[in-house]
Copies of this chain bind each other. A is one copy, B any other.
Amino acid sequence: MITIAVDCMGGDHGPVVTLPACTQFLDQHPDAKLILVGLAEHLGEFAHPRASVVLATEVVTMDDPLEIALRRKKDSSMRVTVEQVKNGAAQAAVSAGNTGALMAISRYVLKTLDGIDRPAIAGQFPNAKGGATTVLDLGANVDCSAAHLLQFAVMGSALVSVLTNEEAPSVGLLNIGEEVIKGNEVIKKAGELLRVAAKSGDLNFFGNVEGNDIFKGTVDIVVCDGFVGNVALKTGEGLASMIGAFLKAEFSKNVFTKIAAIAAYSVLNALKNRVDHRRYNGAALLGLRGLVFKSHGSADAMAFGNALNRAYDAARNNLLGRVQVRIAQTAPVLAAVENLSST
């Protein structure tokens, strides 16, 4: 039995979205249980044989400063959800709330893994090879050192090798050119550290990649700081939305285009599935001593359901244990390389 703790209050829509997603998830996974966390007035009427309710008295809002979320709202639905993982009641936690607050609370409650200074958010982007490119960090760390980027590479490799059973997935460093001389100082240094780690055989480092390589599928994992990763994520979402809206408007223009839309339905539907970011919803907070998944704040029930599925798959495949083993294996390299980076 897999148990997932769900912050039912998080996100732009809260229980209106999270509760229907929870019901559907339970119906689809007969071996799963959910712990629903939220305010009494919203969860009072929820009933399912495999769901239990844990009440919280506060909610972290989208614009609560970290300080408030972490120090003042000690009984927030977000915090209580993460605590379910800490105390062993759940194998994973899911929230669509404030990303910064979720990261801060998760880090405070669960602590980071040995050898990891900063947890990172890892998400998936569809690529032209028909698969997905894992990108991290997507927004947890707005200022990263070269050593942090190396840690992200190790964590990302561990995640992907667990998810895909590939022994040595390839890692690219997001940069503004393929050449080694490109980039700012942190990126150049990170490139050096990654090359050293690759030589030791513990990391399959491809080299520098550019923004377009994310969607080309040049590498399995793209490493970047959280500011850049978040901009890339949202730029992609923005362009996909624009194209979707454009096609909708153009195909509804007149009777001819409407007929064309019917003829092209299967292709348009396939495209929608391919680039719909709701399908890729559910980013992993990596580097913590527990599994936490972040749903997009604007997720609808379908998207939130995907985040629940991801948490479920991760728990079922013992992602945490396997990531921990991989990180422990590369710990000597990380330590050696970091000594190098501080000299």
In the complex, A251 has a CB within 8 A of chain B = yes
Q: Which residues of B contact A246 (CB under 8 A)?
A: 128, 270-271, 274
Known: A176-B139, A242-B126, A242-B128. A211 touches B228 (CB 8 A): no
Q: Which residues of B contact A174 (CB under 8 A)?
A: 231
The SS class assigned to the A binding surface is helix
In the complex, A340 has a CB within 8 A of chain B = no
Known: A240-B239, A250-B267, A261-B264. A230 touches B176 (CB 8 A): yes
> Nearest B residue to A259 by beta-carbon distance?
B263
Copies of this chain assembled into the complex: 2
Contact with B along A30-42 (1 / 0, CB 8 A): 0000000000000
In the complex, A48 has a CB within 8 A of chain B = no
Selected contact of A211 from candidates B179, B212, B234, CB within 8 Å:
B234
In the complex, A215 has a CB within 8 A of chain B = yes
A interface, size bucket:
35 or more
A211 touches B227 (CB 8 A): no
The stretch from A73-81, A181-189, A281-289, A305-313 touching chain B is: A181-189
A184 touches B250 (CB 8 A): no
In the complex, A245 has a CB within 8 A of chain B = yes
Name the distance in Å between A218's Cβ and chain B's nearest Cβ.
10
Known A-B contacts: A128-B242, A211-B231, A213-B238. Give 5 more (CB < 8 A): A212-B237, A224-B231, A239-B240, A250-B267, A263-B263
What 8 A-B pairs come out closest when comparing CB atoms? A212-B238, A211-B234, A211-B235, A215-B238, A260-B263, A176-B230, A142-B184, A260-B264
What are 22 pairs between A and B in contact, CB < 8 Å?
A142-B176, A142-B184, A143-B184, A143-B185, A174-B231, A176-B230, A184-B227, A187-B227, A210-B230, A210-B231, A212-B234, A214-B238, A215-B239, A215-B242, A235-B236, A236-B239, A239-B240, A240-B243, A250-B270, A251-B264, A259-B263, A260-B264
A residues within 8 Å of B by Cβ?
A: 63, 65, 126-128, 139, 142-143, 174, 176, 179, 181, 183-185, 187, 210-216, 224, 226-228, 230-243, 245-247, 250-251, 253, 256-257, 259-261, 263-267, 270-271, 274-275
